[in-house]
Structure 1
Amino acid sequence: MSLPKIAYLTGEYPRASDTFIQREVAALRMLGHEVLTCSIRTTGPEHLVGPEQREEHARTFRVLAACRSPLRLLRAHARWLRHPSRYLRALSLAWRTAPKGIRGRCFNLIYFAEAGVLASHLAEAGAQHLHNHIAKASCTVAMLASELSGIPYSFTIHGPDIFFEPLHWRIDEKARRARFVACISAFCRAQLMCFAAPGDWDRLHIVHCGIDPARYAPSAHDGQDLLFVGRLAGVKGVPLLLRALASLAPRHPALRLRLIGDGPERAALEAMTRDLGIAGRTEFLGYRSQAEVAEALAGADVFVLPSFAEGVPVVLMEALAAQVPVVTTRIAGVPELVEHGTSGLLVPPGDAEALAAALEVLLADPDRRRAMGAAGRARVEAEFDVTIEAAKLSALFTHGPEARP
C-alpha cells in the first residue's frame, strides 16, 4: 500500500525553538512519506542556526509571501469559485468561527484568503493530507484550506497557551472537523476533552513529540555545570533559576550556568545576573543548532527548566537522552516524562527555594546524578523515540483514526 503524500503547516517553519517538528518531518520521510512543508510566515535568519534549518527553509512554501502576489491570490480563489457551494461553505465557516468583534472577523477573512492560496498549492502538488502543528491561527488556515479543497486535515495540539483561550481559537470546531487530533500527552488530551464534544473523543490520540536518542552521547561530565535551553521569555521562569543560582553560589564556588536560547527577556535577564553578582557564573549563548545543543548537554551535570507552563518539553527529552538528570516543575504533562526521584526532581512552579533545594541535592551527589541519567535515557528510548511516534502518525495518516497508535 502506497503511503499518502503529506503537507505539514505551521505558523513559522523551521524555527530553532521547534526542532521537534523538523525531526518528525524527517522521520516521516524516512518511513517513505513525501512531506511538503508549508509556513504561514517567513522564518527569520536568527532561526536558521544549522544545516537542517537552512535546508528545510529552502524547500518550504511560504503562504504570506505567495499571497503578496495579487495575481496568484486571485487565481487561487478563482479556482475555488468554480465550486461555489464549497467556496461559500468555507467562507461561512471562516465567519462563524471568527473571534468576537470586527478585528476577529477581519483576521478570519485574512485567514480565508491565505487558505485559498494554500489549498491551491496543495492541490497542484498532489497532497493527500494536511497536518498542522500548533492549533492556533495556522490551524484555522488549515481547517479552511481543507474545506475549500476537500483534502482532509489533522493537527497536533500542544498547550499550554492554546488552552488559555480555547473558545477564541475554536479548538472544539477544529477537533470536530479534523480527521484526527494528535495530543502530545494524556494531560493535553484531557484538556482538549473539556471542549471537544464527547462524540469526537475517539479521534483524539496520544502521539508524543519525540527525539532520536542516538544523537545524544551520554554526559561524561562530573562537575558543577547547570544548563538551561529554551526561549528567554517570562513563561520559562528563568528569574527563579538566577535567584536559585545566587543562593547556591556561596556553597559551590565552581557552580556555572549556561543558557541556550533567545527571546524578549534576554537583556533584562543579563542585567539581573549583574544585580545578583552572578554574571561571572552565567553565559548567554543565544540560539544554537541541534548538534550544538547535544554537545552542550554532553558537558552538563544538571539540566534545569523552571517553567510556569509547558506541554511536554522536548528539551527535557534531549537532556534525559544525554543521561543528564533534570530539575523541572511539576506541571501539565511533565510528570508523564520525568519520574520524580528516578530520572529527575520535580518542584512546585514559582518556588525559587524549592528549586535551589533540588539543585543542592543533585549537586551534592554525583552517584545519584548518574543513576538518574541512566533511568532517564531508558524512559526516552521506550516512550519518546521520534521513529516510534512518527510510525503512529504514519498509521493515522494512512488508515485514519481507526488505526489505534
Structure 2
Amino acid sequence: MAGTGLRRPKMRCCPKFPSDALSGGKKAPESTDILGVCRARRPPETSIPCRTMKVLYLINQYPKNSHTFVRREILGVEAQGIPVVRVSIRPSTEVFVEDADREEAKQTQSLLANGAKGLLPSMLAVLLTHPLGFFKGFARMLRLAKGAERGLGVHCAYFGEACALLRICKKENVNHVHVHFSTNPPIVAMLNETLGGPGFSFTAHGSEEYYRAVSLKLAEKVNAARFVAAISRFGRSQLQLFAPPEIHHRIHVVHCGLDASFLEADDVTPPSGNHFLFVGRLCQQKQPLVMLEAAALLKNQGVDFHIDIIGDGELRAAVDASIAHHGLESHITLFGTVDGAKVRECILKSRAMVLPSSAEGLPVVLMESMALARPVVTTFIAAIPELVRQGVEGWLVPTGDANALADAMKSALECDAAALERMGQAAASRAKARHNIDKTASLMADLFRQHAG
C-alpha cells in the first residue's frame, strides 16, 4: 500500500460460514464449561478455499484522535490483501486533527447514524427474513442482560444494533467481525452471530475491562469469540482467568503496531535540554496531578526543568488549578489536543517522556517515544514492564508516588549525554522490534483466515 510502508502479499481465502459448511448446515450443539458459561462446540478449524474474504471492524466510536493504533491495524490488514469494512456503533463527534482520520471517517458506517429509532427497520427486516435467528438472538440478549452492568433497556439497544450490523454483514458479504475493546461492542457482535451473521473475535486492551469483568460479562465474550487478541502477555494472563484451560490457546498476544514513520525513523540522540513530555488524556488513570506534585517538588529543590503537556480531558480544570497552586506557570506548557506531527515534534524536543499512569493496557505513546529514541519515566503497572526495563530503556516508579517520580525525573535530568543516548538507542531497538505494524497485521490476517466464518 503506497505511503504506508506495508507490503501486500497474495490473498488467501476462507469460507464465509465454515462452521455451517462443516456441520451440514446444522448448528453445533452447546455445552457448559467449568465456569458455567454456555458455549457452542465448534468443529475442528480448517481452511476451505473460496473466492474472497472480507473482515468487518466494529468499534464503539471510530475514528477517534486517540485510536491511531486501530487505524494502523486496519490499513495493515488491508495491505495483507483482506478488505475491511469499517463500522462504528456511534457516529464519531470528534474534530479530527489528522487527515488520515478524516479519510477513515468517509469510509465508516455507523449503526446509530439515525439514532435508536433508526434501528427499528433493521429489527423488522431480520424478524421477517430470519425469524428463528431473531428469537434466538433475543433470548440470548435476555440472558446476557441478567446481572450485567447495563440494564435490559440498554441490552435491547444492543440487540437492535446487532440487527443493523447483520444487514451490513449480508450486504457487504462479510466473513468475520473483529471488535476493538471488550466493553459493549463484543455483545453486539455476539448477538449478530446468533442472528445468523459471521463469527467474531475481539481485541482486549485493558485495564478497564479486567476491573469490571463480571458486570461486563467478559467470560461470556471470551468463550463465544473465535479468538481473542490481547495486546500484552499481562493482558493474556488476565483473559485466561475468564476462560477454561481448554480454550486458552484461542487467546493470542497481538501487539499494537507502529507504522513506517516510526519504524524507519533514525535514532535521534535525546537533546541536552531539560524538557519532558506528557501525552495523554487528562484523567485519573493517567495521573497528571501526581506529575504536577512531582514537578512542584523539583521546583522547590531548585531544579531547572520544563514539561510540555499534550492532551485534554475531565481533569483539565484541576490541572490548571494545580499549576497555579504550585506556581508552575513558567515550568509547564499546555498544548491541548494536537495532530501527530506536533506530538512528534514535541517528542523530538524532549529529553524523556513522562507517563505516571495508575491504570493502563500498554500505552501507544510510550512505544512511539521509544521508537524515536527517547527514554521514558513511567510506572511499573500492567504491561508496561514488558516494554520498559528499569535502567535500560527508562525509569520505572510506583504509581501514585510523587516523591519517587520526582527522583526519577531528576535522574533523567542528571543523566550524562552518553548514558542518555545509550538508553535512547535501547528504547528504539526494543520498540521497533516488538511493535512492528507489518508483523501485527500479518498475525491478524492469519488469525482471520484461520477463524473466518
Same fold (TM over 0.5): yes
Q: Does 1:58 align with 2:106?
A: yes
Task: Quote how far apart the aligned CAs of 1:114 are.
Answer: 0.9
Where 1:268 maps in the other structure, the secondary structure is helix
CA contact (8 A) 1:234 1:265 kept: yes
Task: Quote how far apart the aligned CAs of 1:387 are.
Answer: 1.3
1:384-399 equivalences in 2 (<5 Å) = 384-399=435-450
CA contact (8 A) 2:65 2:94 kept: no
Where structure 1 has 5 or more consecutive residues not aligned to the other structure, the ranges are: none
CA contact (8 A) 1:139 1:155 kept: yes
CA contact (8 A) 2:148 2:217 kept: no
Q: Does 1:211 align with 2:261?
A: no
Task: Quote how far apart the aligned CAs of 1:75 are.
Answer: 4.1
Q: Which residue of 2 aligns with 1:183?
A: 230
CA contact (8 A) 1:209 1:389 kept: yes
Q: Which residue of 2 aligns with 1:348?
A: 398
Q: Runs ≥4 in structure 1, deviation > 6 angstroms?
A: none
CA contact (8 A) 2:222 2:242 kept: no
Q: Which residue of 1 aligns with 2:202?
A: 155
Q: Which residue of 2 aligns with 1:131?
A: 178
- Which has the larger displacement, 76-85 or 188-197? 76-85
Where 2:66 maps in the other structure, the secondary structure is helix
Distance in 1 separating the partners of 2:411 and 2:274 = 12
1:297-336 equivalences in 2 (<5 Å) = 297-336=347-386
- Which has the larger displacement, 217-226 or 235-244? 217-226
Among candidates 346, 353, 376, match of residue 296 of structure 1: 346
- Amino acid in the other structure paired with 2:78: R
Where 1:182 maps in the other structure, the secondary structure is strand
- Amino acid in the other structure paired with 1:59: Q
CA contact (8 A) 1:217 1:294 kept: no
Task: Quote how far apart the aligned CAs of 1:367 are.
Answer: 2.4
Normalising by structure 1, report the TM-score. Answer: 0.94
Among candidates 274, 293, 313, match of residue 224 of structure 1: 274
Distance in 2 separating the partners of 1:80 and 1:200 = 33
Deviations 1:35-79 (A, max 9, x none): 111111122233x11101111112111111145564x63245423
Distance in 2 separating the partners of 1:235 and 1:55 = 30
Structure-2 change in CA distance of 1:101 and 1:383 (3 Å): closer
Where 1:64 maps in the other structure, the secondary structure is coil
Task: Quote how far apart the aligned CAs of 1:322 are.
Answer: 0.7
Structure-2 change in CA distance of 1:12 and 1:336 (3 Å): same
Q: Does 1:375 align with 2:434?
A: no
Deviations 1:265-290 (A, max 9, x none): 11110111011010121111111222
Distance in 1 separating the partners of 2:438 and 2:123 = 36
Larger Rg computed on CA atoms: 2
Structure-2 change in CA distance of 1:176 and 1:358 (3 Å): same
RMSD (Å) for aligned C-alpha atoms: 1.9
Where 1:16 maps in the other structure, the secondary structure is coil
Distance in 1 separating the partners of 2:228 and 2:197 = 18
CA contact (8 A) 1:77 1:117 kept: no
CA contact (8 A) 2:163 2:192 kept: yes
- Amino acid in the other structure paired with 1:274: A
Q: Which residue of 1 aligns with 2:63?
A: 14
Among candidates 1, 18, 25, match of residue 74 of structure 2: 25
Where 1:378 maps in the other structure, the secondary structure is helix
Distance in 2 separating the partners of 1:222 and 1:13 = 39
